[in-house]
Structure 1
C-alpha cells in the first residue's frame, strides 16, 4: 500500500505540474529536470519566484523565494485553495492520481492550519519610538480615512448594525461626520469581502503600482499569506483565488470588520487610526501601525485637534481612557464651549503625549479614568508626567462611569482654578 510520501514523490511531478497550474491559475516554466518556476500566486509577484523542486527526501516541494517565503507540498496547496483539512487534501490528491488505497499521514500540516481552527484574531500592536511621518504617508492615511467615512455615510441601511451601535454609544450622525468616522466591511461581507479599500484604489494601482506600496507601507492593507502573524490560519483562508489581480487576491483591508476612527494631531493632521468591532467579543480594539515609517501611538490623543483652542483658553484638560468616554464628554462640553477633553486611548498618559500637552500651557489636569487598578495606576502616572495639579475621581461605585461624577460639576470649569471642585 502506498504512503502519503509516495504520492508526493518525484515520480508524481508530471502529474503535479498541470494539476497545480489549474488549481492556482498559473503557468510553470521548466528550468531544468524536476525544476519549474512561475510567478508566485500568493503575493503580488513581478518575477518568477515560485519554484517547484524535488528535495533530498524525494519529495516535490513548492517554495517562494520572493515576498511571502512560503513553503508547501501538494496537500498544503490543496488546503489553501480548497479550504480542506489536511486529511481531505491528501485524499483529493490520491484520487486524482487514481490511487484507491494509501496510508494517510495522520499528523498535521506543518505549514497550513486546519480550516476553522483559527478565529479572527485581535493581534496587539507594539509601540515604537516616534518618527515623523512624511507628507505622502499622511496623505495616504487621510485618503483611507475619507474613503471609509464616505462608505459608512452612504450606506446607512446596509450598515445598520454599525449605525445602531454608534447611536447606542452616543455617537450620532453629526458626530460621525465631524470626526470622519468610517467603516471597513468584514471578510464575510458579500459585496466587499474585506477588500473595500483595496477595490477602491485598484483602478489607480493598475495605472501606478507604486500607489499600492504607499497603502501597504502605511499599514492599511494586510498580506494574507504571512505565516509569521497571529491568526495566519484565519487570514490564509481569505486568499481569494477567483480574483485575477494579485493585489485583491492576496491582500485584505487591515481594518476589515471594524469601525475606523482616524487619530489627528493638534494641527488636525492625521497620524494614525484605531479600529473597533461593532460587537463585543474578544479584544475589540485594534491600533494601527505603519510599516516603513512607524507612527508612534505613544503620542496619540484622540480629540486633541478639537480641544486644543479650548484647553489654551481654560488651561484645563479632562483625560479619559476610551473613545466612547470621550464622546460622552464631547456631547456634554461642546454645547458649553468648554471642549477640554481628550482620550489617551488607555489608562496611561505617555511621556510623548504629556510633552504635547505641556505645550498647551495646562495648569489643571482632571484624570477621569475608571476607578480600577489600571485606572488608579494611570492617575498616578499622569501626576508624574504632567508636572502640575492632577484631580481625580475617587470613590466610584461598581459600574459607575466617570461621566456620572463629572457631569454635575462641569460648570466649575473656568479659566482660573479648579480647586473648588
Structure 2
C-alpha cells in the first residue's frame, strides 16, 4: 500500500512551516524571517531561521535546512511515510492508501535513501578534505553558506565504490541498491568527483541528483538515470523551493541550468526553476499551469538558447500561459549572449532591481556570479 501522490501534495500545501517549527522552537520575527535557537545543535545565540515566503528553515551554525516535511522528519526521527501521516493529521487531510505493484521499489524507502545520501554528500562537501576543490569552486562562484544549505549542495568523492560500501554497512541490500539509479555498474557510483545538486519533488522528496564535474574528460553536467520515481520530463530543479513563491506571484521564471536557478534565488527571485538539462516539456508546463498564469523565459541568447526559447514558447502558449522573454543587456546597452549566471568578460550578471516584487523582467544587472568555467 502507498500514499497517492495527490494526497501528499495536498498535505504539503496545507503545512505552515512557521506554525510547525514554533511547536518546537520559540521564534522571534525580524524582517521577513523568524529566528530562534537551533534544535539540532547547542548554541547561545540564535542562528536558526525560518523563511515563510520560501517555506524553508535553515541554520547558519550547523547548516541543516529544508522544508516543513523534512523538519518534521528531523525532529520526530520519522521515515517519510510516518512523517506524512503525522503531517496529515495536522493538516486535517484523510489518507486513503492505494495498492502498490508487487515487487516494485518502495517509494518511502527510495526517498529515505536519497535523503540520507544527500545529507551525507552535503556533510562531505562542508567538512571533508577531499572536497576542498569543490569548496574552492563554489567560493569562486560566490555562493554563500546559506545558499549552499538552502539547495543542500554536496560532493560525490572520486572513489567510485565508497557509496555502495557505505550503504551496504547500513544494511541496504545489493538488490535494492541496484534499482535506485545511484550506481552504474556493480558497486560503482554513478557520480564521481562532482558537485551534487539534489533534485526534489514539490513535496520536498529528494528523488535524483545532478552533478557538475570538477575535471575535464566527461560531461560537465550529469543527471541521474531515470528510475521508478524519477522522470526528467516531469521534474523541475528547485520546484520544492520555488513553489511557494510561484503560487504567491502567479508567475514562474524558467532558466536553463542549476547554477542559473541558484543565481536567481540568490538575487531574491524565488519563483525560478529549470528543466533538467533537456528541453522543456508539456508535462512540466501542465504542472506549472496549476499555480501560475505567466512564465518568464531567461535562456542564453546564443543559437542553442534561441532555439530552446522558441520551443519553450510554443509549449507554454499551447498550455495557455502568458509568456515573456527577458531582454538581456549589459550596462553599455549591448545585447548579451548568456543567462543569469554566465559572465563572459566581467560584465554584470542579471539580478532583480529595486524593491519591486519578483516576477518582472530583469533590468539594471548587478554582479552575482562569475562565468561558469
Using structure 1 for the length normalisation, give the TM-score: 0.53
Partner of 1:6: none
User: Which whole-Å deviations, capped at 9, do the CAs of 1:305-332 have from their partners, x for residues lacking one?
Assistant: 1111111111111111011111111111
Q: Which of residues 304, 314, 326 is equivalent to 2:261?
A: 326
Aligned pair in 2 of structure 1 residues 133, 357: CA closer, same or farther (>3 Å)?
A: farther
Partner of 2:175: 213
The SS at the match of 1:158 is helix
Aligned pair in 2 of structure 1 residues 420, 331: CA closer, same or farther (>3 Å)?
A: closer
CA shift, 1:281, in A, is 4.8
Structure 1 gap ranges (5+): 1-130, 187-192, 224-249
Q: Which of residues 239, 260, 265 is equivalent to 1:304?
A: 239
Partner of 1:179: 151
C-alpha distance in 2 between matches for 1:297 and 1:325: 18
C-alpha distance in 2 between matches for 1:306 and 1:262: 12
- How many correspondences in the alignment? 247
Q: Are 2:346 and 1:373 equivalent residues in the alignment?
A: no
Q: Which runs of 4+ in 1 moved over 6 A?
A: 417-421
Whether contact under 8 Å (1:347, 1:369) holds in the other structure is no
Aligned pair in 2 of structure 1 residues 393, 405: CA closer, same or farther (>3 Å)?
A: farther
CA shift, 1:286, in A, is 1.1
Whose RCO is larger (CA < 8 A, sep 6+)?
A: 1
Aligned Cα root-mean-square deviation (Å): 3.0
Q: Are 2:288 and 1:357 equivalent residues in the alignment?
A: yes
The SS at the match of 2:165 is helix
Partner of 1:39: none
Q: Are 2:206 and 1:270 equivalent residues in the alignment?
A: yes
Aligned pair in 2 of structure 1 residues 300, 280: CA closer, same or farther (>3 Å)?
A: farther
C-alpha distance in 2 between matches for 1:213 and 1:259: 27
C-alpha distance in 2 between matches for 1:200 and 1:302: 27
Q: Which of residues 262, 273, 277 is equivalent to 1:346?
A: 277
The SS at the match of 1:324 is helix
Partner of 1:287: 223
User: Which whole-Å deviations, capped at 9, do the CAs of 1:12-44 have from their partners, x for residues lacking one?
Assistant: xxxxxxxxxxxxxxxxxxxxxxxxxxxxxxxxx
The SS at the match of 2:267 is helix
Aligned pair in 2 of structure 1 residues 167, 340: CA closer, same or farther (>3 Å)?
A: same
User: Which whole-Å deviations, capped at 9, do the CAs of 1:131-187 have from their partners, x for residues lacking one?
Assistant: 9972222222222222222222221x432111011122232322222222111111x
Structure 2 gap ranges (5+): 1-103, 330-334, 342-347, 365-373
Aligned pair in 2 of structure 1 residues 414, 395: CA closer, same or farther (>3 Å)?
A: closer
The SS at the match of 2:196 is strand
CA shift, 1:279, in A, is 3.4
Whether contact under 8 Å (2:299, 2:338) holds in the other structure is no
C-alpha distance in 2 between matches for 1:318 and 1:410: 18
Using structure 2 for the length normalisation, give the TM-score: 0.59
Partner of 1:252: 188
